[in-house]
Structure 1
Amino acid sequence: MYVYESLDATGFGLLKDAGYRPPFGLIRDPSILRHSDGMYYVAHSTAPAGNQIGLASSSDRVSWTFVGNVTLTASRVGSVWAPKWFIDADGSVNIVVSLRVGGSARGALRPYLIMAKNSSLATWSIPTPLVGLPVGCIEMFIVGVGQMYYAVYRNSRSKRIEFASAPSLTGPYRPCGSPDSVVTDGQGPALIPLDNGGWRLYFEHCVLGGVCFTDSYDTFRTWAAPVELPGLTGVVKQLTVVKEVVPGGVSLPLGRLSLRSGELGSQYWRLVNDVVCLEAVSSDSSTAVRREATFTVVRGLADPNGFSLRGSDGRFLRQDGSRLHLSRFGATESFARDATFAVRRGSDAGSVALESYSYPGRYIRARGRELRLEPYDESYLFGAESSFGIAAAWA
């Protein structure tokens, strides 16, 4: 099992290669959980046939310890497929798993639920079937949104990733669509909430041959075009992602400052005809130029954990497509989102990178003289051109 981590749900870096091997059996389809005791737990299937789920734990996601195997005895389980964690609103810890019952490792897989009977995860309930889902749905991942439960899974018959919803965890589920962008052939779905209220679906695109993601902002009804996850294609299969809020990290100081190119130290952000560019600025520059290279940082209009930037005349820096320009305040949700940025670590010590709040995974990047929003990639050039140093305000 390999472990990766990301600050932005897009750029994943390797935390630990070959991070865990069970003492016996296989580790297939691992799913990760952060438990109430602060420990991380992984559940995985252990063999193509059999009736067990393997569990391992870690305090740091780097060093893992075998906890034990959970044996599923009800209905003569013949095969266990892709266990996935789900924590309900009441705090109960569950695993959703596809099973072949009747004692055979052949035949159709059906979704079941087991619930931990204690906080140590030592004992579990007998498998309970999830009602209303099609035969052959596998690799199921469940999330709760409001009063509803949403299941996303691979339909092994239609070869599609599909969604179903239910008023209770065990069903009855009713189909509620499929991501338009992955109707061809997708597998291994995993869902996480984004900071800006959207949802991100990770999956393996069997036709394109890569690990991809797509985002939805209307509770899974419509989806953006799939984007390949940088650096993971050909390496990762059957990933799951857990989102955490952790203390610390980089930030922008509130108040006036200037931002310097991490690659070209004498070049600073400067407003030219209300568009942000990189320009040489020095103490010999005119008062107007130094004012155009000064910004005021405030708490994010859409999210106080993010940041918004204002020019010297009080107007806000806002994205418009891939460009950045000044715009007068607009009391709309879309304006607030487009004028908010998340601050990430830059590639150079002490530098920052600014990620779009409206479009997670897109960063402010120097393209020649102009600054533009572009999708993250793992290249050295991207890191250099999207990193900026914090400098004292020119005006």
Structure 2
Amino acid sequence: MHSVRPPGRRRFRPGALAAAAAASLLLGFAGSAVPAQAAESPVLPGLTADPNIIRFGDTYYMYPTTDGFPGWSGTQFKAYSSKDLVHWKDHGVILDLGPDVSWADIRAWAPAIEAKNGKYYFYYSADTNIGVAVSDSPTGPFKDPLGKPLIARGAYTGQMIDPAVFTDDDGQSYLYWGQGRARVVPLNDDMISFDASKVTDITPVGYNEGTFVIKRKGTYYFMWSENDTRDENYRVAYATGPSPTGPWTKRGVILEKDLSLGIKGPGHHSVVNVPNTDDWYIAYHRFAIPGGDGTHRETTIDKLEFASDGLIKKVVPTLSSIDPVTAGTALPTNTTRSLRSVNFPGRYAVVRSDNLGYLEPVTSSSTTAVKQSATFTVIPGLADSKCYSFRDSSGRYLRHKDLRVRFDASNGTTLFNKDATYCARPGSTTGSVSLESYNYPGRYLRHYYYELRIDAYQDNATFRADSSFTAVSPWA
């Protein structure tokens, strides 16, 4: 694992000005004026395309197609991670079609990922089929649980490529895919199967490929790429609707070429939100600069903004990309942490032998059992990967039942998953979080006379401190 982009001051990429100046000739528009500006993109090294960007806990992840192979014949998928959307770490190969997938060994394209049930589900195109692989970590390794495609070539009209996943507020996940035709289907709770009778064609006018869906302030945004990826006119359009399956109202194009900067073919994008903000960013590929074409592409990130009426503003493609992002409230997922009270710094959230939660003192001299009871693995929320669940070493989850907090083994139900999911909100002090119940919005994990409860929010300093915790190094 290595750092893709070293930290420090914003800088000129070596040769960036020469590249920009040469772009008009190499990209076929001699005579265009190319402004001299710092080129901080591409944000990933080498040739990549079709980036899927997502945030788990306090970390952003990106999963692209590795580009530049003859005939797009790549066989491997890699993962990259970042705390700020600027400095990226390369985690290496997370799935290799040759040894890891029995039914395909070429054309590894356009992946997507989602977290649920404490695991990560990786959807990908392989030889124009769609597969799914599963891991305990967002950086793999991923394993094929089916031994066959999730959606086989020829199952529907168009190509079976470009999967995308959207999980709604109720915990229901949807799988989108297609080239030529766009389709969607609700995934079953296991995330690796679906009811084929529920597949819906949602193809809009102008659709080619690269579906992506988000939700903002009650509105669903369905986005896609138009024209061929090898065409400089490759671009992103979108529609809005009242549900994850529509009906959709096309709104127009939000990202397209800018020949004055040498930017051609920007498309096949994904979008990520900074938690607890209305800040959004779009990751996409474009022809490599200079001298790229539709089979030699690179990945970059720019801002995505909304107008006051909720429509998406036209994205301004840049060579400079974005500044580091630090806002948002988040917890570090896939790590062990103890939850220390803000109001009583020597006390921690613990679970007693009766499996009920309390706030109790924990020190270096405490017994091993007490330390273990104050130690949790933070994972993406069982009901919503943008939130969190807390698991102990025996596999039980911090769960509220009748508004009392306890540790229970999962029974796999939707209700349990919701009861065991908490969303991070800003705490009463810097670096702390408040944990809002996913199942009962407006209620927070709070200690009252040292008993852990889920209580309705009260607008006073005592409640805010009682419902604020700092995720610190684990006791065990």
Relative to the length of structure 1, the TM-score reads 0.51
Is the 2:74–2:108 contact (alpha carbons within 8 Å) kept by the matching residues of 1? Answer: no
Cα distance, 1:15–1:93 mapped onto 2, change above 3 Å: farther
2:275 aligned partner, one-letter code? V
Cα distance, 1:166–1:55 mapped onto 2, change above 3 Å: closer
Is the 2:254–2:314 contact (alpha carbons within 8 Å) kept by the matching residues of 1? Answer: no
Structure 1 residues 335-350: aligned runs within 5 Å: none
| 1:192 corresponds to 2:214 | yes
Q: Report the secondary structure of 1:245's partner residue.
A: coil
Q: Report the secondary structure of 1:93's partner residue.
A: strand
Is the 2:235–2:265 contact (alpha carbons within 8 Å) kept by the matching residues of 1? Answer: no
Q: How many angstroms does 1:230 deviate by?
A: 4.8
Q: Distance in 1 between matches of 2:39 and 2:218?
A: 27
Percent identity (aligned):
14
The aligned counterpart of 1:245 is 275
| 1:52 corresponds to 2:76 | yes
Q: How many angstroms does 1:242 deviate by?
A: 1.7
Within the candidate set 151, 154, 161, 2:175 is matched to 151
| 1:211 corresponds to 2:211 | no
Q: Report the secondary structure of 1:355's partner residue.
A: coil
Cα distance, 1:125–1:140 mapped onto 2, change above 3 Å: same
Could you list the per-position Cα deviations for residues 5-46 of structure 1 after superposition, in whole angstroms to 9, with x for gaps in the alignment? Answer: xxxxxxxxx994211214xxx42322112223x222211222
Cα distance, 1:126–1:192 mapped onto 2, change above 3 Å: same
Q: Distance in 2 between matches of 1:209 and 1:49?
A: 21
Q: How many angstroms does 1:248 deviate by?
A: 9.4
Q: Report the secondary structure of 1:94's partner residue.
A: strand
Q: Report the secondary structure of 2:50's partner residue.
A: strand
Give the paired residue count: 235
Greater RCO (CA < 8 Å, at least 6 residues apart)? 2
The aligned counterpart of 1:112 is 131
Within the candidate set 155, 171, 183, 2:193 is matched to 171
Is the 1:160–1:185 contact (alpha carbons within 8 Å) kept by the matching residues of 2? Answer: yes
Is the 2:112–2:122 contact (alpha carbons within 8 Å) kept by the matching residues of 1? Answer: yes
Q: Distance in 2 between matches of 1:221 and 1:354?
A: 21
Structure 1 residues 55-70: aligned runs within 5 Å: 55-70=79-94
RMSD: 3.7
| 1:125 corresponds to 2:143 | yes
Q: Structure 2: any 5+ residue segments left out of the alignment?
A: 5-37, 259-263, 280-304, 317-476
2:240 aligned partner, one-letter code? D
Cα distance, 1:131–1:116 mapped onto 2, change above 3 Å: closer
1:198 aligned partner, one-letter code? T
Q: Distance in 2 between matches of 1:216 and 1:89?
A: 25
| 1:20 corresponds to 2:48 | no
The aligned counterpart of 1:225 is 250
The aligned counterpart of 1:138 is 161
Q: Report the secondary structure of 1:238's partner residue.
A: strand
Could you list the per-position Cα deviations for residues 249-278 of structure 1 after superposition, in whole angstroms to 9, with x for gaps in the alignment? Answer: 8xxxxxxxxxxxxxxxxxxxxxxxxxxxxx
Is the 1:211–1:232 contact (alpha carbons within 8 Å) kept by the matching residues of 2? Answer: no
Q: How many angstroms does 1:247 deviate by?
A: 5.3
Q: Report the secondary structure of 1:28's partner residue.
A: strand
Is the 2:103–2:149 contact (alpha carbons within 8 Å) kept by the matching residues of 1? Answer: no
2:209 aligned partner, one-letter code? Q
Is the 1:87–1:94 contact (alpha carbons within 8 Å) kept by the matching residues of 2? Answer: yes
Q: Distance in 2 between matches of 1:64 and 1:377?
A: 23
2:136 aligned partner, one-letter code? K
2:219 aligned partner, one-letter code? G
More strand by share: 1
Q: Distance in 2 between matches of 1:97 and 1:171?
A: 14
1:118 aligned partner, one-letter code? S
2:311 aligned partner, one-letter code? P
Relative to the length of structure 2, the TM-score reads 0.43
| 1:32 corresponds to 2:53 | yes
Q: Report the secondary structure of 1:229's partner residue.
A: strand
Q: Structure 1: any 5+ residue segments left out of the alignment?
A: 2-13, 101-108, 250-345, 347-352, 362-374, 379-395
Structure 1 residues 298-309: aligned runs within 5 Å: none
Q: How many angstroms does 1:81 deviate by?
A: 3.3
Within the candidate set 137, 152, 160, 2:181 is matched to 160
Is the 1:139–1:153 contact (alpha carbons within 8 Å) kept by the matching residues of 2? Answer: yes
Cα distance, 1:79–1:354 mapped onto 2, change above 3 Å: closer
